[in-house]
Each structure stands twice: as C-alpha cells, then as structure tokens.
Amino acid sequence: MALFYVARYPGPDAAAAAGPEGAEAGAHGRARALLERLQSRARERQQQREPAQTEAAASTEPATRRRRRPRRRRRVNDAEPGSPEAPQGKRRKADGEDAGAESNEEAPGEPSAGSSEEAPGEPSAGSSEEAPGERSTSASAEAAPDGPALEEAAGPLVPGLVLGGFGKRKAPKVQPFLPRWLAEPNCVRRNVTEDLVPIEDIPDVHPDLQKQLRAHGISSYFPVQAAVIPALLESAACGFLVGRGGYRPSDLCVSAPTGSGKTLAFVIPVVQALLSRVVCHIRALVVLPTKELAQQVSKVFNIYTDATPLRVSLVTGQKSLAKEQESLVQKTADGYRCLADIVVATPGRLVDHIDQTPGFSLQQLRFLIIDEADRMIDSMHQSWLPRVVAAAFQSEDPADPCALLQRRQAQAVTAASTCCPQMPLQKLLFSATLTQNPEKLQQLGLHQPRLFSTGLAHRGLEDTDGDGDSGKYAFPVGLTHHYVPCSLSSKPLVVLHLVLEMGFSRVLCFTNSRENSHRLFLLVQAFGGVDVAEFSSRYGPGQRRMILKQFEQGKIQLLISTDATARGIDVQGVELVVNYDAPQYLRTYVHRVGRTARAGKTGQAFTLLLKVQRRFLRMLTEAGAPELQRHELSSKLLQPLVPRYEEALSQLEESVKEERKQRAA
C-alpha cells in the first residue's frame, strides 16, 4: 500500500505551487487525507454489510472450521484391501482389480493412488464452493473497483458472503467419461437355459464343425456364443489374411458369466478361419494364466481340429523346453518349418520360446486370444504382451517373397500404403470379470474394440471407473448363495457336516492359503469317512493334473484347494463350492463359486463367515450379487461329530510336528 502512495503522482499544479519541499509535504498530507477518506468509506460499507454478515455467520463458521481441519492421512496398510476387515474406502477395491489380487500365492497389489475418495470436509475439485477468504476478496473487488488493495487494508478481513448453507451434503459422484465402446456394449443374455440358438440358425459355421458340435452333445449355442461367433466369422470373412474390405478388424472384449461357454465362442470361429490355410504358421495364440487352464483349452481345440490339418501345440512348461520346441518347429535344409497353427501358452513359457526357440515366429499371427483377460492384465508387469506384439510385428526382410503379406506398424496412410494387403492381428479378450477400467484396457493397445457383455449395460454403468463394485459382474442363474455364521474353531466341523450330512458328492472347498488347505486336508483325512484331496502349489503339475482327473472321475468327494482352481477350471458335476475362508475380493468370489452351476446346471455356494467378517455380505450386496441366504447350523447339529473331531485334532498335531521334523532334517 505504501508503494502505491509513493508512486502516485500528485499532479503538475500542486507540485509547482508547493516547491520541492512543500510538494513533498503536501503529497504526504494528501495521501493521509486520501487514506482516511477511503478508510471511512470502507467502514461505512462495512456497517452496511453487517446485517448480511450476521445472517451468514451461522453457516460460514462451521465451513471455516471445516476447512482448517488438517487433512487426515488415509491408512494404507491396516488391513488387506477388500478384506472384510478392510475399512469402507478400501472396499472400493474389493473386486480385486489390483495386480495379482486373486492368487493367494502372490501378494495382493496395493490399492491404486487415484482413488476418488476425498478426505472428510475437503471440497471436491471444481467445487462451486469458495473459501471464505477468497470470497471476501472478490466481494471487495466488486464493491470498490477503483481500489481493491486499499479496501482490503482499510479494515479487518471481511468474512465472505455465503450463498447457500454448508450443511453436510454428499458430494455428487463424478461420472468418469467412458469411451463409447465400453459405454454401449453389445448386450448378451446371461441365462444359458433360455435364449439358446439352434446350431442350424448360424449357417456360417462350417458343416464339419457343426457336426463336431452335435457329436459332443451341443445342439444349440449359448447366448455368448450366438453373439460372438458370427461377429468373429464376419471379421474373418475375407479369409484370415485381410480384414473385411481390406480393413483391420475390430478387437473384441467378451464379459460373460462363469460356465457360459466362452471357450467355444472363440474356438469355433478361430478353427473355421484357419481351415483354409495352406502353409502351417502360428496363426492363433491363446494365452492363459495357469498350466491347468491352458491344458483345458488346448483339449477343446484338439476336439475341433481333430479332423482337420490344423495342429495345436501346448507350451506351458509341463514338458522340457526342448520337447516343446520339437512340437513347434522343425529344422529343414533351408531354414525352419513351423509345426503348429494354434499355440496355447502360459505367458512365461511363451516368452521363453520367443527368446530361445530358433524359427519360432509370430509374424503370421492372426488371432491373439487372451483368456481370463483381467487376470492377464494383472500380469502385464511381466511384459509378455509387448514381447508378443514385437514378435508379431518383427521388421520384415524385403527379400522374403511373403513380405507383401506381412503386417507393419501403423504409419502415415498414403495411396501406396493402402494398396498393400495387411495381415491383421486381432485381439480377443475373454473373462467373467472383465475390467471396465479404460486405463487398464488401454494397456492392451486395442484397435477399435467392441464389447460383448452380460448385465453391464443395464446395471453397472454407474460404477464405470472399473474399481467400484456395484452390479458389475453377472452370476450364473442356477447358482444359490448361502452363508453359514460360525466360529473359527467350528469351521472344520461345518465342512464335515456339509459333506457328510448333506450328502454332496462333489465338493470344492477353497481356502485363502496353501497352509490352510494343507491343515484342513490333514484334519479331514484324520477324521476319516471322506475321500479328500488337496490341490495347491505344494504339488507339481503332473500331480495336480492327476488330482483334477480323479476329482472329475468322482474318485474324490472333497477337494480342498487354494485359488489355483478358482478360475476357469471346468469340472463336470461340482455340486457345492465351500468358501472355507471368505474370499478377499469380489472377483475371487465370482470365479470360485463359478466352479458350480456351469452350463445351465444348478449349484450351491456356502461361505463360512466369522462374526467379524460380516462386512463381506455388504461387499457382495454393494456389488449387486444375489443375496446370500443365511444357513444356521446349531451346535446341536454339529455335536455328533465332535468326539471324532477331537481325536482328529490331536492326530493333526502329531502330523504337523512330524512334517516339521521332516522339513528340518
């Protein structure tokens, strides 16, 4: 303010009349007079505003206080994200969008930093509310356009006028912008017992494939198959070397419930598209998260390529690298010959072959199928996808006679470039819990994607950030969900009761760790009377394969497993899924319970819940899952099992000690 007056020029007349000293004294006097005048004007205005301020004070005060409250730091590591013990804010991540969320043999990822949650009392970005100080400045500026700085300095800080109260209002949720393909999916019905499409109604499917389908007891397509098969066949309508009209076909994302037949939705069109191939090259690559799943999918491909010249190769590390190499390439006098049209792989082993197998080429790849896509997105840190894409777009050798058909990375479109036919690479994503998070999907570099989805179109779009839970995933129609309130010590008894008293013949029981699986297995084994086995990473791939086979054959009544079997595993006739440990994430729940009620059958899911875990129920309700029915098991019902159970407990102690000794030795 002082600078303002010093700089102010008094005017030529005053300066001349007073002389050099008088001019200075006069300027000081005038400045003081001006200051007093302005101060008194400000005081008058202040008095005029007084009534308005008194009215506003009631609402302004709490707001001011609220703003001064220091921002509370959110706790990060108190509980597992999404766990029933996790605080409310954490449960926004409860669907397990974090990396490695489902594998209990991997550490669940940290919640992402971009949570939209705000500290209590914090105004949201872009809020129309202004801080009181800000408001007072602007109010003064309006009142005295000629001297706002003076105005502020003249009196005490003027509290701002408040338009509207500061009562506790829930900030409206910001709706993120969704790309159109995610916001407007192609809707797929989720009920696989209705809306079936007879095989003959899709005549584009090759008659030989139709015959194979019928031979395997399939007379109609499930809704997801009826939607996806024609779309894929259309994108390969000009042969697999170019897309329709010479354009690159759209990538497809498919989200449909567990057991709804997603595997055949890609197997049939891919086999059909490749039927016309002349030279054997890797044209289709299916990437899955586990060996067991890869094996299951390669079996389905084998069924439908059996009577064709197409060859399927499984590369998962179950065999030695050299053995797998033999099934992929053959050395010839003038180079290498490819031996596989379709490769089904796990990501790690696939990268091994890209790096170490001479003659392993993905340059002719037409379909890249990513099954259990959300899980595979979680494993993107392994960089397998960039490696695959780099191998598929490897710089071409101009001397190669097939160079014309090789694809190139997108460049500027010129008349010349449009003349060359381009081999398209089409990505196909499948999952029962496909993420809706555009940022995550963006990592896959999708080209003009199309989404086929059940349920999301009508329900889940209010939760489009992909990290919330409301109504995102669809469950099989024939599945009934229960929960059993129980104590920690009675959990094994409840499992024994379900298996022995309720007469289920094929039960899959999930725990959250391989230690829990092992102990429960030892306990049930010691109890006796149940054909029980365990499935976890304690066993090698060969043993695991054998266990699953025996379970499928009905030789095992109760299979106690980690989440290793939670995804994709298709075992016929599972009647009951027991969540011995409540799953930590919604996605895990969807996949675990999806091992029953498959392909239109009915099934039951029981989740054992401790008192402190009841938040799990809220998590499911918020996720739009069907309500879990309470199933009360009184201690009277469990009592007959207790004496034998106590004996089994003491045997368990012995077994655990014995195992510890063996490990130490």
Ligand X SMILES: Nc1ncnc2c1ncn2[C@@H]1O[C@H](COP(=O)(O)OP(=O)(O)OP(=O)(O)O)[C@@H](O)[C@H]1O
Nearer to ligand X, 249 or 594 (CB): 594
Angle between helices 223-235 and 262-274 (to 10 degrees): 30
- Give the whole-angstrom CA distance, residue 480 versus residue 468: 24
Nearer to ligand X, 525 or 596 (CB): 596
Q: Which of 166, 221, 452, 483 binds ligand X (CB under 6 A)?
A: 221
Residue 258 is a binding residue for ligand X (CB under 6 A): yes
What HEC string does 470-497 produce?
Answer: CCCCCCCCCEEEEEEECCCCCHHHHHHH
Residues 503 to 542: which contact ligand X by CB under 6 A?
Answer: none
Q: Which of 160, 261, 471, 492 binds ligand X (CB under 6 A)?
A: 261
Q: Which of 602, 559, 561 is nearest to 581 (CA)?
A: 561
Residues 599 to 628: which contact ligand X by CB under 6 A?
Answer: 599
Q: % helix / strand / coil in the chain, to the nearest 5? A: 45, 10, 45
How many residues at the interface with ligand X, by CB under 6 A?
19
CA torsion through residues 37, 39, 45, 47, sign: negative
Q: Which of 137, 260, 437, 565 binds ligand X (CB under 6 A)?
A: 260
Nearer to ligand X, 162 or 432 (CB): 432
Contact at 8 Å (CB) between 454 and 260? yes
Residue 565 is a binding residue for ligand X (CB under 6 A): no
- Give the whole-angstrom CA distance, residue 518 versus residue 513: 9
| Beta-carbon contacts of residue 470 (< 8 Å; ≥ 6 apart) | 459, 460, 462, 463, 622, 623, 624
Nearer to ligand X, 424 or 568 (CB): 568
H or E stretch including 193? none
Q: Residue 349: how many CB atoms within 10 A of its CB?
A: 20
Residue 253 is a binding residue for ligand X (CB under 6 A): no
- Among the candidate windows 255-263, 361-369, 442-450, 460-468, which touches ligand X by CB under 6 A? 255-263
- Among the candidate windows 230-238, 254-262, 304-312, 528-536, which touches ligand X by CB under 6 A? 254-262
Q: Which of 31, 51, 34 is nearest to 42 (CA)?
A: 34
Nearer to ligand X, 53 or 480 (CB): 480
Ramachandran angles phi, psi of 530, nearest 5°: -130, 135
Rounded least distance, CB 229 to ligand X, Å: 10
- Give the whole-angstrom CA distance, residue 557 versus residue 532: 6
Residue 218 is a binding residue for ligand X (CB under 6 A): yes
Residues 567 to 586: which contact ligand X by CB under 6 A?
Answer: 568, 570
- Collapsed DSSP state (helix, strand, coil) of residue 630: strand
- Give the whole-angstrom CA distance, residue 463 versus residue 34: 60
Nearer to ligand X, 373 or 524 (CB): 373
Nearer to ligand X, 75 or 211 (CB): 211
- Among the candidate windows 5-13, 42-50, 227-235, 261-269, which touches ligand X by CB under 6 A? 261-269
Alpha helices in 362-463 (DSSP H): 373-378, 384-392, 415-419, 438-442
Angle between helices 262-274 and 291-305 (to 10 degrees): 50
- Among the candidate windows 87-95, 253-261, 324-332, 644-652, which touches ligand X by CB under 6 A? 253-261
Contact at 8 Å (CB) between 595 and 577? yes
Rounded least distance, CB 481 to ligand X, Å: 16
Residues 370 to 409: which contact ligand X by CB under 6 A?
Answer: none
Residue 432 is a binding residue for ligand X (CB under 6 A): yes
Q: Which of 132, 185, 424, 594 binds ligand X (CB under 6 A)?
A: 594
Rounded least distance, CB 601 to ligand X, Å: 9
Nearer to ligand X, 576 or 633 (CB): 576
Task: Rounding to the nearest 10 degrees, give the CA dihedral for residues 584, 587, 589, 590.
Answer: 180
Rounded least distance, CB 303 to ligand X, Å: 10
DSSP strand E in 129-262: where? 186-187, 197-198, 220-221, 252-255
Instruction: Write out the two tokens for 448.
Output: 């003009």
- Among the candidate windows 30-38, 260-268, 447-455, 537-545, which touches ligand X by CB under 6 A? 260-268
Nearer to ligand X, 281 or 291 (CB): 291
Rounded least distance, CB 296 to ligand X, Å: 7
Contact at 8 Å (CB) between 98 and 581? no
Residues 264 to 283: which contact ligand X by CB under 6 A?
Answer: 264
Residue 435 is a binding residue for ligand X (CB under 6 A): no
- Among the candidate windows 83-91, 116-124, 146-154, 220-228, which touches ligand X by CB under 6 A? 220-228
Q: Which of 263, 346, 490, 512 binds ligand X (CB under 6 A)?
A: 263
Q: Which of 166, 222, 551, 606 binds ligand X (CB under 6 A)?
A: 222
List residues near ligand X by CB under 6 A.
218, 220-222, 225, 256, 258-264, 432, 568, 570, 594, 598-599
